[in-house]
Homo-oligomer: A and B are copies of this chain.
Amino acid sequence: MAEADTRTRILEAARRLFHEQGYGATGVATILREAGVHPGSLYHFFRSKEELLAGLLEYYPSLFAPIVSRPIEAAEKEAVERVFALLAFYRKGLEESGCRLGCPIGNLALEVSDNHPEVRPLLERNFAMWSGTVAGWLARARLRRGTDLDRLARFVLAVMEGAVMQARGAGSLAPFDAAVAELRRHFDLLQERAGASRARRRKR
């Protein structure tokens, strides 16, 4: 892990620190220390702190499939349950960090989108990949006629981000669980009279 190439070490340090403290609150000096790198090296690969952020937002999508979506696809075959496994993934992150660590993209989206408009397309690409994955899963689900899958996937993303935000604000998982439970209800209603058959639901 320490023998990764310099650029990747910088990105990994920035990823962790931006996630934990935010973009503005993280000084370049801290990134340098954590990455074990000197200023000149960082500024060899990235012209500015802002370009480092852009590099990170281009780096994120390459992590999503191996770390998030593929393990879920391997462990859970049923479409709707995959969505809730994805939410459970974020819940676990909250739980293990005492409701401190949420969605790294979401944090950056709110902090950075105004002051650095040039990263907006990169934020949107991350959101689009996330909701696109969910929409792909849901294509296999039996839902009410007329369900717009992209819209539903955007909705799931909104619920996740809003639920994470409330949990971080409250320092408690309760609002997260409440939002997810209500989302479950929405899916129940969407499946209720979907195809008449196969009301396959889960144990837990």
Tell me whether A139 is interfacial, beta carbon within 8 Å. no
Q: Which of chain A's residues 120-161 have a Cβ closer than 8 Å to chain B?
A: 120, 123-124, 126-127, 148, 150-152, 154-155, 157-161
Tell me whether A162 is interfacial, beta carbon within 8 Å. yes
- Are B158 and A166 in contact, CB atoms less than 8 angstroms apart? yes
* Cα distance, A100 to B120, chains bound together (Å): 11
Contacts of A114 in B (CB 8 A): 20-22, 100-101, 168
A-B contact pairs, 17 of them (CB 8 A): A22-B24, A102-B110, A107-B111, A109-B169, A114-B168, A120-B170, A123-B169, A124-B170, A126-B169, A154-B175, A154-B179, A157-B166, A158-B166, A159-B159, A162-B165, A186-B186, A186-B189
